[in-house]
Amino acid sequence: MHKRWVIQSFKEPDKVAGLEKVLGTPAAISSILVHRAIETFETAKHFFRPSLAQLCDPFLMQGMAQAVTRLRQALSKKEKILIYGDYDVDGTTAVAMVYDFLQSLPGATVSYYVPDRMREGYGVSMQAIEKAYQEGIQLIITLDCGIKAYASIAQAVERGIDVIVCDHHEVGAVLPPAYAILDPRQPSCPYPFKELSGCGIGFKLLQAFCKQCGLNPEIPYSYLDLVAVSTACDIVPLVDENRILAYYGIKQLEAKPRPGLQALMELGRFAATITISDIVFKIGPRINAAGRMSHAALAVQLLVEKDIVKAYHLAQSIDQQNLLRQSLDHTITQEALAMIENRPQQSKSNVLFNPDWHKGIIGIVASRCIEQWYRPTVILTLSDGQATGSARSIPGYNIYEAISACSPLLHQYGGHAFAAGLTMPLAHMARFQKKFEEVVSETITDDLLIPQQTIHALIPFQAITQKFVNILMQMAPFGPGNATPVFASEKVYARKFHLIKERHLKLELYQIDCMQSYEAIGFDLGGYLPLVSSGQPFAIAYTIGYNYYLGNKSLQLIVKDIKKGACVG
């Protein structure tokens, strides 16, 4: 797929030079830091040396005092408490964390509930409320959901059940009648950081509870491995508090993860150094597979398990479900791509429906379709007599707003800029497809429909010194808001080249004026073999990392794209 290379400007040279002087960082890295608003010694100190002491006071969050007071009351009266969470990674990690914490308290009567993805769908289900009422539940804590569950929470209140909502999604026009709402996106909430994951909101509740009850303030830190997994997999910006939580959570994953995560990491064959990508691509899909293929309660069971042997058996079961998910994913993706190829090429969106597609897979399929056909995409299937689907967007386009513009045709919807879920009557399908295409066509710009490869700095291979790499690695963890720096180099030649699995390029690259050559890998770049083998110079966009193989660690360039000639033009 053709990409537009956009080279980041060398911003504010005086500030770049200042950072070079006080930090000793190379110019290219100093420029990247300035682009990320790291402009002084103090901001650089906070960035390179994150501290848990920098976390905000949890009581700054609107509703926190009420939530903690009600929770303490429930515990003192030995009321039955239900922890309710979504079936994805964020929801299941949040449920595991809050459940595990509360059940460790003397006299607590706590249970958890995760809705069935197929039968109940996203959000707080009426079925769950009725079950809670029948079991005598007096307090429900929702995690990663609830902010738009007006009807079901009103039903709970009518049944005499109080609800504390812990959510991080966009709020609706009318808030649910909960006892307390913890969501920093509420317009009136003074909490300074708005981008926590759902598990992150639950973590703040634990912090506040420990603070008010005089418990050891470090108790919540024992759950940072779960918070890091949720933060990585929910694709929230890795800045401010999220960067701190992910930084220390990864340290815990590397040193002493809880048994469930340890088992998943063994199955994923993790290296000693863990990255956000490792979590997203090796842990996340396995946890999600439980909810997609059977029931997400299995993931919670794994995450709260204390015995490593039992945890490993549970992890193996989930891993088998993930293998089945991968098979279905491939089949449905091929069917969806075939449908797209038969649609008008001038369309600026893709809305596809097949009543036989697996409801638990369609979100992944939407992402796969975007990889091939770069358009905002909605994949729908049949569920309970309605069209139910998942939407995924491309960078720079807010798909939640586009779906909101179609709301008269929808039964319900929710989500954020990059991903959303929706349900509609089958009779509205054709009208939705037409309306969504109209909305996207009117609001998207043509440049957004061409994948962009941002280049953070143009450097020669000579710049890649050990000091350069050491400083670069200290910028991790990388993710949204703190992207892995992508470099570009021109007049590059391939000394060695071959294909791996007929798709990936394995290379040894060099520049004429640099004595050092570098091993490189280009995933899904096999189509560039004629260019790199031609003996002609080319330009590459790449990140810098390490390859771990048979216990050995070696520097490796991960090639993102290749261009004939120079970077510009």
What CATH number should be reported for the domain holding residue 409? Answer: 3.10.310.30
pLDDT digits (tens, 9 = 90+) for 327-381: 999 999 999 999 999 877 789 999 999 999 998 899 999 999 999 999 999 999 9
| pLDDT score, position 4 | 87
Residues 309, 352 within the same domain: no
Residues 82, 230 within the same domain: yes
Residues 187, 242 within the same domain: yes
Compute the distance between CA of residue 471 and CA of residue 460 in angstroms, rounded to an integer.
17
Longest Cα separation, the chain: 78
pLDDT digits (tens, 9 = 90+) for 523-562: 999 999 999 999 999 999 999 999 887 778 889 999 999 9
Residues 300, 383 within the same domain: no
Domain boundary pick from 449, 465, 493? 449
Residues 507, 553 within the same domain: yes
Residues 184, 312 within the same domain: yes
Are 86 and 144 contacting, i.e. CB atoms less than 8 angstroms apart?
Answer: yes
> Is 179 among the domain residues?
yes
The pair of three-digit structure tokens given for residue 237, joined into one six-digit string: 């910006």
Residues 462, 388 within the same domain: no
Pairing of the two strands 180-182 and 518-522: unpaired
Domain boundary pick from 449, 477, 500? 449
Residues 275, 352 within the same domain: no
> Is 108 among the domain residues?
yes
Residues 362, 214 within the same domain: no
Compute the distance between CA of residue 525 and CA of residue 270 in angstroms, rounded to an integer.
25
Number of domains in the chain: 3
> Is 14 among the domain residues?
no
> Is 325 among the domain residues?
no
**What percentage of the chain carries pLDDT values higher than 90?**
86
Q: How confident is the model at residue 1 (pLDDT cuts 50, 70, 90)?
A: low
Domain boundary pick from 449, 476, 496? 449
> Is 395 among the domain residues?
yes
- What mean pLDDT, rounded, does the chain reach? 94
Domain that holds residue 123: 58-316
Residues 159, 225 within the same domain: yes
> Is 328 among the domain residues?
no
Residues 158, 104 within the same domain: yes
Residues 388, 509 within the same domain: no
> Is 38 among the domain residues?
no
The CATH number linked to 177 is 3.90.1640.30
Q: How deeply is 386 buried, as exposed, middle or buried, from its count of CB atoms within 10 A (0-12, 13-18, 19+)?
A: buried
Please, which residues bridge with residue 547 across strands? 554
